[in-house]
Chain A
Amino acid sequence: MSHDLTDIKLSNAQIAWRAAQDIEDGAYVNLGIGFPEMVAKFQPDGREAIFHTENGVLGFGEAPAAGEEDWDLINAGKKAITLMPGASFFHHADSFAMVRGGHLDVAILGAYQVAQNGDLANWSTGKGGVPAVGGAMDLVHGAKRVAIITDHVTKKGEPKLLETCTLPLTGVGCVTRVYTSLCVVDIEGGRFVLREKLQALSLEALQAVTGATLHLDGAVAPLTAPSV
């Protein structure tokens, strides 16, 4: 990515903030391990989502203070969590019934690559070593919306939004919206449809760092996020 894009792009926290603005009050939400966990911090005032973690908790809250951890109360990333009023516990088969059974409203996950038909690659870089999939291949099925938050390009500057994924797939045609450091796109009819972009960025400059055609369907809104 060129220097000017590095200067204007949203930080990970800002991407997470933007994704959080689309989560309705009372939505049941699963956040992927790592970067997506930040989304929980940015819920708009007056809205409370109920967060699901694969290992059997609905309605968890922030991490406890250091020294207050209870290792029987962790999230899928094996980090200590706390409970919100109204939380519940359940076993692993019920937990994934919530996922595949269409009971979650939103899953927000990270990505290595997303294709214009909604294919997602986010579990393996295909380079050997010890393969590990966890719940990634289950989580992409069943939630009413599967959203991705990601930098627009890789650390090497290569596009992550592509015509076809080149890395091993996590799921086929599963992604519905992508929030990147430069724009917000929906996946509709096998195409990327541009909904928002940074105002300082021209459509041409955005297209130049995107590996598939960005389609327009009505006005493109400015992508903005506060300093968070």
Chain B
Amino acid sequence: MDKRMASLADAVADIPDGASVMIGGFGGSGVPIELIHALIDAGPRHLSVINNNAGNGHVGLAGLIEQGRVDKLICSFPRSADPRVFTELYLAGGIELELVPQGTLAERIRAGGAGIPAFYTPATYGTELAKGKPVGEFDGKSYVQERWLKADYALIKAEAGDPLGNLTYRMAARNFNPIMAMAAKTSIAQVSRAAALGDLDPEVVITPGIFIDRLVEVADPQQEEDLNRQEAAYP
């Protein structure tokens, strides 16, 4: 088995209009910038995107939104150093936002990957974000029912990956990537270093290859913070 793809373009080529796409990362850490740019090039529209944020500047997710490809965003914190692309589109009614508390977002994704259709959390109980959701009492305390979150595709970034899709991560760039890899029908990883089969110590693998469908090496990946300092835009 070899999950390696020849190019970024090949890795995202079949993502269709209307797909739901999880994109890893928190701020700029762990964001698969090159995969997102390949998705911009590939051109699908009417996407539903799941990410913690809503993009920063004019690259990565902000670039995808700026190109008008995203109909709906599910996120916890649609603010950043430069959130203008999302903010202007949202205030003009051009994009739907589902605001989810960060821990609930993470657990919904984890539940999606783990086959758990719903769970109860204390977060949002008694707040406007709990409106319309079932409430349950357990051991005298109230909790809000939340549903799993799954996607057609996940775009994730990892540090090293072998041909089977076993992955390691780098520092806090791990964030949402391992759980999103579990929750999508097709999970696509960009790795900063392609490891040969047998080179990754099984003790340090964070995402077992069963969760990964495609792998593409991007050595020296770009970092959102650096691109924004250069006032870059994509395309």
- The residue of chain A having its C-beta at the shortest distance from the C-beta of B159 within the complex is A72
Which chain B residues border A55 with CB–CB below 8 Å? 26-27, 29, 172, 175
Verify B77–A72 contact, CB threshold 8 A: no
Take A130-B90, A133-B129, A137-B129 as given contacts and tell me if A96 and B103 are in contact as well, using a CB distance cutoff of 8 Å. Answer: yes
Complex-state Cα separation, A131 to B79, whole angstroms? 9
Take A56-B175, A71-B223 as given contacts and tell me if A171 and B102 are in contact as well, using a CB distance cutoff of 8 Å. Answer: no
Verify B101–A91 contact, CB threshold 8 A: no
Q: Within the complex, what minimum Cβ distance (angstroms) separates B83 from chain A?
A: 7
Verify B107–A96 contact, CB threshold 8 A: yes
The answer to whether B170 has its CB under 8 Å from any CB of chain A is yes
Which chain A residues border B105 with CB–CB below 8 Å? 92
Which of the candidate stretches B39-47, B62-70, B119-127 sits at the interface with the other chain?
A: B119-127
Complex-state Cα separation, A208 to B39, whole angstroms? 59
- The residue of chain A having its C-beta at the shortest distance from the C-beta of B207 within the complex is A91
Chain A interface bracket (under 10, 10 to 19, 20 to 34, 35 or more):
35 or more
The answer to whether A132 has its CB under 8 Å from any CB of chain B is yes
Partner of A168, one of B76, B83, B109, B127: B127
Q: Within the complex, what minimum Cβ distance (angstroms) separates B84 from chain A?
A: 11
Complex-state Cα separation, A169 to B107, whole angstroms? 21
- The residue of chain B having its C-beta at the shortest distance from the C-beta of A136 within the complex is B101
Which chain B residues border A92 with CB–CB below 8 Å? 26, 52, 102-103, 105-106, 109, 175-176, 179
- The residue of chain A having its C-beta at the shortest distance from the C-beta of B225 within the complex is A71
Interface residues of A in 130-163 (CB under 8 A from B): 130-139, 141-142
The answer to whether B171 has its CB under 8 Å from any CB of chain A is yes
Which chain B residues border A93 with CB–CB below 8 Å? 106-107, 109-110, 179
Which chain A residues border B110 with CB–CB below 8 Å? 93
Which chain A residues border B76 with CB–CB below 8 Å? 132-135
Verify B106–A141 contact, CB threshold 8 A: no
Q: Within the complex, what minimum Cβ distance (angstroms) separates A63 from chain B?
A: 14
Interface residues of B in 172-191 (CB under 8 A from A): 172-179
Partner of A133, one of B77, B109, B171, B178: B77
Verify B27–A74 contact, CB threshold 8 A: yes
Complex-state Cα separation, A135 to B103, whole angstroms? 6
Verify B126–A171 contact, CB threshold 8 A: yes
- The residue of chain A having its C-beta at the shortest distance from the C-beta of B88 within the complex is A130
- The residue of chain A having its C-beta at the shortest distance from the C-beta of B76 within the complex is A134
Take A70-B171, A132-B77, A135-B103 as given contacts and tell me if A169 and B26 are in contact as well, using a CB distance cutoff of 8 Å. Answer: no
Q: Within the complex, what minimum Cβ distance (angstroms) separates B76 from chain A?
A: 5
Complex-state Cα separation, A215 to B178, whole angstroms? 49
Complex-state Cα separation, A170 to B100, whole angstroms? 13
The answer to whether B104 has its CB under 8 Å from any CB of chain A is yes
Which chain A residues border B177 with CB–CB below 8 Å? 91
The answer to whether A221 has its CB under 8 Å from any CB of chain B is no
Q: Within the complex, what minimum Cβ distance (angstroms) separates B176 from chain A?
A: 5
Complex-state Cα separation, A89 to B30, whole angstroms? 13
Take A90-B174, A91-B179, A130-B83 as given contacts and tell me if A135 and B122 are in contact as well, using a CB distance cutoff of 8 Å. Answer: no
Interface residues of B (CB under 8 A from A): 26-30, 52, 76-81, 83, 86-87, 90-91, 97, 99-107, 109-110, 121-129, 169-179, 206, 223-226
Question: Could you name 18 residue pairs across A and B whose Cβ atoms are closer than 8 Å?
Answer: A55-B29, A56-B174, A71-B225, A72-B170, A73-B29, A92-B102, A92-B105, A92-B175, A92-B179, A93-B106, A96-B107, A100-B103, A132-B79, A134-B102, A138-B103, A141-B122, A169-B127, A171-B125
5 closest A-B pairs by beta carbon, nearest first, are A96-B103, A138-B103, A172-B126, A78-B27, A92-B106
